[in-house]
Amino acid sequence: MQSLWYRRIGPVIDTVCIAVFIMFGKDRHSYDNKGLTWFLTVFWPLAAGWLIAALITRVYTRDDRPWLRLLGTIVIGIGIGGVLRGVFTDRVPYSVFTVVAFLFLGLTTYGWRLIWMAVSRLRGPATA
């Protein structure tokens, strides 16, 4: 499943999934400041948590058990992100945000990988 292209693009697509989650959340709440500062304040703890989790689970570098590694990345990443959120921002570490983040990131990060696999299978083995 993990071609060189996948290993390079996977972290980028996952980061886009996190950014989209934050942007959708912004539209669902009536925050006064919806600028770049607000976005980065909400984005960085979750993105940093995801990065740390990805390094722990090796989701982008190991081929075995990709779905379990992704689940671990989601759970650990949101957990670490919650701690960072509580320590460095005025937000509570865990709330409904945690549940919604788990569901949204689970759907989007598993979803794009399922699409990737389906397209890869339809295209057949790569030729040099």
pLDDT tens for each residue of 59-113: 999 989 999 999 999 999 999 999 999 998 877 777 888 999 999 999 999 999 9
Asked if residue 34 is part of any domain, the answer here is yes
In the three-class reduction of DSSP (H, G, I as helix; E, B as strand; rest coil), residue 120 is classed as helix
The domain total for the chain is 1
Identify the pLDDT of residue 60.
Answer: 94
Identify the pLDDT of residue 90.
Answer: 79
Asked if residue 128 is part of any domain, the answer here is no
Q: Are 53 and 77 in contact (CB under 8 A)?
A: yes
This prediction has a pTM of: 0.86
Asked if residue 40 is part of any domain, the answer here is yes
Please report, as a single letter, which amino acid is at residue 64: D
Asked if residue 50 is part of any domain, the answer here is yes
Among candidate residues 59, 93, 58, the one with its CA nearest the CA of residue 78: 93
Asked if residue 59 is part of any domain, the answer here is yes
